[in-house]
Structure 1
Amino acid sequence: MAGIAVIGAGMGALAAAARLAVAGHRVTVYERTGTYGGALRRFERDGFGFDTGPGLLTLPAVWRDLFVKTGKEPLEECVELVQVDPSARHVFADGTEAALPNASRAGVVSALDEALGAQAGQRWGDFLVRSREAWDRTRRPLLEEPLWPNWSVLADREPYPAVPHRRLLRTRRAGTLAEVGAWELRDPRLAALLESHALAYGLDPRVAPASAAVLPYMEHAFGTWYVRGGMRELARAVYERCLARRVVFVFDAEVTRVLDKDGRAAGVELADGRVADADFVVAPGSFAGLPARGEGEVVPQRSLPSRLTVLLALRGPRPKDAAHRTVVHTQDRESELASLFGAVPSAPALPTVTVLRPDDARLVPDGDHEAVTIGAVVPAGPELPAGRTELVADALVAAAERAVPGLRDRVLWREVRTAADIARETGAAGGAVPAPALAAAGGRLLHPANSTALQGLFTVGGWSHPGGGLPHAGMSGALVSGLIVEGPQFRGSQ
């Protein structure tokens, strides 16, 4: 039985802690803030409640597996999972709308044909078939296995089976997500639908590899889910599972460095000077005290996104037919991409926004009010001046009103959440939000391995393999646990 120090109480760290405790180890989690959950936080005021991190869950099987492996009570006995249907309503630049059923290829094809015209749905359906092939080729190495030592194979090989395209007397295949949209989907609205999945993670579709097609495929194949009471309830359930497995939590305890004894991790030192010995240390991939990466290790090279979120407390009930999630696409794609990924990134003036309207009585004071969350991607970095932040928030609300007419007239109050809030809660520099690992693109979208140059030190969470997103956080915890329990020979879940 080993003593294990876990730095931080994010979702990946909690997943690792629960699994390691079940394996018989003594696990202590040191969290610099006063609570658990990382980005899965909650804002409450006047009887209203809002998720301030991820608002929906894909691939819930990852968290079901955690609960199966760590106790008798399955996930569904600890939280109420609700399948969101429609999965999303889309409002395109030309005003066309489409509501896409959850986890139904035939339903999505029919909905797109009806909304966008004959053959549109079929083109999207054919794209999903090709996306599945990319998913099948990359699922294990990018989600279920430790990062391969020969990771460059993943960096150089494009798994998406692009359709040959005749262009300027040459036959080419799409290498980027934008080219997939232009050459295979052949409708600016379908292209916007595709690109919105990349933008949600702060990826530029013009340079994101075609393998990013797995992002819409995951949502299509495994469904979109909500946790009743808000996504923070998932964090609560995982935290309580850790407590039940006798994981010890020390809050308001900032770790400043990992102790190194004879080339092996030996514990942690806290900001107040305390030292805690340990046989293994698990740290966030963004922890400043990690050893330098060795030659040949993955070093991601990309611009880093964050999010700006506007929480709206509204007078008036939620309409019965309101979609849980609506994506309002920008009316000026080039301006949005230039502002997010140009030489000098700035908050987009005309953003693509996601509007979340959960049908959840636990988030409102009564049936005569509604809680709405509006979010958009912005560059990570220093906080904008207060006046500029409010202008960007105004732009988000104005864009959302294309999907919710009369929205501004219903506002009782609003709360604006910025990159600085994300940085304060997660510790990520500039409030950056990590993207999932993706194949191809020369390795830019891979993340460093969970093992490190210091023996006994492992990294977990969105800034290490397999990257950002709730499913990926859960798998990160499973990978770290496997590497500690089974050793370097661990090859992933079966």
Structure 2
Amino acid sequence: MVIGAGMGAMTAAARLAVAGHRVVVHECAETYGGALGRVERDGFAFDTGPALLHLPAVYRDLFVKTGKQPLEDCVELSQVEPAVRHVFADGTAVDLPNASRAGVAEALDAALGPGAGARWSAFMNRAREAWDRTRRPLLEEPLWPNWQVLAEREPYPAVAERRLFRRERRAATLAEIGAYELGGEPRLCALLEHFALAHGLDPRTAPASAAVLPYLEQTFGTWSVRGGLRALAAAVYERCLARRVEFAFGSAVTRIAVKDGGAAGVELADGTVVDADFVVAGVAPGVLERLLPGERVRAEGEVPAQGGPGGPGRPSRLTVLLALRGARPEGTPHRTVVHAPDRDAELNRLFDAPGAGTAPPAVTVLRPDDATVVPDAGHEAVTLTATVPAYAGGPDGAARDAFAAQAEQMIARAERAVPGLRDRLLWHEVRTPVDVAEATGADGGAVPAPALAAADGRLLHPANSTSLRGLFAVGGWAHPGGGLPHAGMSGTLAAGLIVEGPEFRGSQ
């Protein structure tokens, strides 16, 4: 039995079906995909969740292991070139090539001055060491029972800065890497810190191990899917159907049944109780606790849930969907990051005094070269995203008004990437953290970050197994955390633990 039809849940369902289990997925919504939502209007189509794919090997492995038809036979993947354009606060712009370390260094030297590329390359070499040390335990293996080892050890090999007559210092956070190892160059620092902000992390407190985030993207590349990432969700759903997974949409689970100290099935909204040998829950922590009133989901000493009641809050995402008249200009980058004019003010608004102030945010502008998302060649579909504080409660109307004002700021900032945007605008829609909360069940519409080592374990996520026998957790709020590749791995790990038992040690 699987609760939810998000990407982690469907990955687990497909793998369990191949292993011989009868799998039934109960999804309270009327469709699959979880965070990979879609808005269609007047011939335009927009992803409302992630829009680019990193580490596609996770889904290639899923399709190989669940059938003879490879992923590329089911969806059309393309490497995005350039991977991204960055427009910094001072107006400097740089296009970074896809999956080319040497090319990135050359581009940084050309845009930021000689030496910028060498500093970034040296940092990426150290980031590779952090990746090599954490890849298996944080992505490919079930969470270690002695997870405290991951919490205590910093895998990033920070460089000691020797200072005359003063103690040497080493970077312990991502912001300190920028200050100590990137020479404090403001644009290099902004580039580095963007990888934290894009995942809702404060670069001033994110551990140095967060260096794996730029390493992952710049090493394994950035990919687009024709039709948007919703097409990837559709392909995984079709693969589940081909493996005879059953789906019940509009089927809300209200309680997980417990018998003899273990999960024994689910109770549906109409009172029907459906028995099951195993239950896989692809829901947010607060939802999971509500499905198990009076039961302990996590034992003492386990990694605490980040998004559940009592857990620390997480930022959310504000998304603006723009329907534009006029064709997409030739050579337009798929993704442009327009950095905030005042980084300190943005960090204060996000993390020190959430929601306070009117500092314009950093905005990611997505302009896909995809004929399937526009009514014809004379129009363009553009998506803007920004990291914002999660919805803190109160009247929905007031919250939506505040988010609408931020959306206007985002449109104004996006004009640095889309000249003449206002004149081309036909209409726009705003997707707020309130909408994210309604779609995912996460408190305040919070969006989970990927699991990271060090930082006393506060950026780890609870294990896929739970303290309740037969109950397993998948999705962004379980190990190995948020992000599309990580969601897929959570489903792989949960299925492995069910099929092989506690001795399962991860993918090979």
3-state SS of 2:482 partner: coil
Is 2:314 aligned against 1:309? no
Distance 1:466 1:195, change over 3 A: same
Q: Give the aligned partner of residue 399 of structure 1.
A: 413
Distance 1:347 1:20, change over 3 A: farther
Contact 2:98 2:218 in 1 (8 A): yes
Within the candidate set 458, 467, 485, 2:481 is matched to 467
Structure 1 stretches of 4+ with a deviation exceeding 6 A read none
Deviation at 1:131, TM superposition (A): 0.5
Contact 2:128 2:215 in 1 (8 A): yes
Name the amino acid aligned to 1:275: V
Q: Give the aligned partner of residue 12 of structure 2.
A: 16
Within the candidate set 46, 52, 55, 1:56 is matched to 52
Deviation at 1:303, TM superposition (A): 3.1
1 CA distance for matches of 2:201 and 2:480? Answer: 16
Task: Write out aligned runs for 1:13-92 (5 A).
Answer: 13-92=9-88
Is 2:274 aligned against 1:264? no
Q: Give the aligned partner of residue 240 of structure 1.
A: 238
Contact 2:354 2:389 in 1 (8 A): no
Contact 1:10 1:38 in 2 (8 A): yes
Distance 1:347 1:72, change over 3 A: farther
Q: Give the aligned partner of residue 142 of structure 1.
A: 138
Name the amino acid aligned to 1:365: P
Q: Give the aligned partner of residue 276 of structure 1.
A: 274
3-state SS of 2:340 partner: coil
String of CA shifts for 1:429-476, please: whole Å, max 9, x gaps. Answer: 211111000000000000000111110000000000000000001100
2 CA distance for matches of 1:344 and 1:389? Answer: 13
Task: Write out aligned runs for 1:324-339 (5 A).
Answer: 324-339=334-349
Deviation at 1:183, TM superposition (A): 0.9
Deviation at 1:302, TM superposition (A): 3.7
Is 2:158 aligned against 1:162? yes
Within the candidate set 198, 208, 230, 2:228 is matched to 230
Q: Give the aligned partner of residue 175 of structure 1.
A: 172
String of CA shifts for 1:358-406, please: whole Å, max 9, x gaps. Answer: 0000011111110000000111123553432221111001111112221
Deviation at 1:293, TM superposition (A): 1.9
Distance 1:460 1:347, change over 3 A: farther
Contact 1:303 1:341 in 2 (8 A): no
Task: Write out aligned runs for 1:198-217 (5 A).
Answer: 198-217=196-215
1 CA distance for matches of 2:341 and 2:354? Answer: 21
Contact 1:340 1:347 in 2 (8 A): no
3-state SS of 1:268 partner: strand
Contact 2:5 2:27 in 1 (8 A): yes
Name the amino acid aligned to 2:42: D
Name the amino acid aligned to 2:451: A
Deviation at 1:225, TM superposition (A): 0.3
TM-score by length of 2: 0.95
Contact 2:176 2:204 in 1 (8 A): yes
1 CA distance for matches of 2:153 and 2:485? Answer: 24
Within the candidate set 191, 194, 197, 1:193 is matched to 191
Q: Give the aligned partner of residue 132 of structure 1.
A: 128
Q: Give the aligned partner of residue 436 of structure 2.
A: 422
Higher mean C-alpha deviation, range 226-235 or range 379-388? 379-388
String of CA shifts for 1:281-310, please: whole Å, max 9, x gaps. Answer: 001252232534211100145431110010
Task: Write out aligned runs for 1:327-476 (5 A).
Answer: 327-346=337-356, 349-381=359-391, 382=393, 383=396, 384-476=398-490
Name the amino acid aligned to 1:109: A
Name the amino acid aligned to 2:28: R
Distance 1:181 1:408, change over 3 A: same
Higher mean C-alpha deviation, range 397-406 or range 225-234? 397-406
Percent identity over the alignment?
Answer: 71
TM-score by length of 1: 0.97
Q: Give the aligned partner of residue 119 of structure 1.
A: 115
Deviation at 1:425, TM superposition (A): 1.4
Name the amino acid aligned to 2:268: L
Q: Give the aligned partner of residue 91 of structure 2.
A: 95
Deviation at 1:346, TM superposition (A): 4.4
RMSD of aligned Cα (Å): 1.2
1 CA distance for matches of 2:122 and 2:40? Answer: 43
Is 2:181 aligned against 1:184? yes
2 CA distance for matches of 1:44 and 1:328? Answer: 26
Contact 1:302 1:444 in 2 (8 A): no
Contact 2:59 2:488 in 1 (8 A): yes
Distance 1:386 1:490, change over 3 A: closer
Name the amino acid aligned to 2:39: F
2 CA distance for matches of 1:386 and 1:55? Answer: 23
Name the amino acid aligned to 1:227: V
String of CA shifts for 1:26-83, please: whole Å, max 9, x gaps. Answer: 0000001000000001101000010100010000000000000001110000000010
Name the amino acid aligned to 1:65: D
Distance 1:163 1:348, change over 3 A: farther
Contact 2:342 2:359 in 1 (8 A): no
String of CA shifts for 1:325-379, please: whole Å, max 9, x gaps. Answer: 0000101011100010014444863100100000000011111110000000111
Unaligned runs of 5+ in 2: none
Aligned residues: 490
1 CA distance for matches of 2:280 and 2:493? Answer: 12
Distance 1:444 1:64, change over 3 A: same
Q: Give the aligned partner of residue 480 of structure 1.
A: 494
Contact 1:90 1:98 in 2 (8 A): yes
2 CA distance for matches of 1:475 and 1:429? Answer: 23
2 CA distance for matches of 1:319 and 1:52? Answer: 23
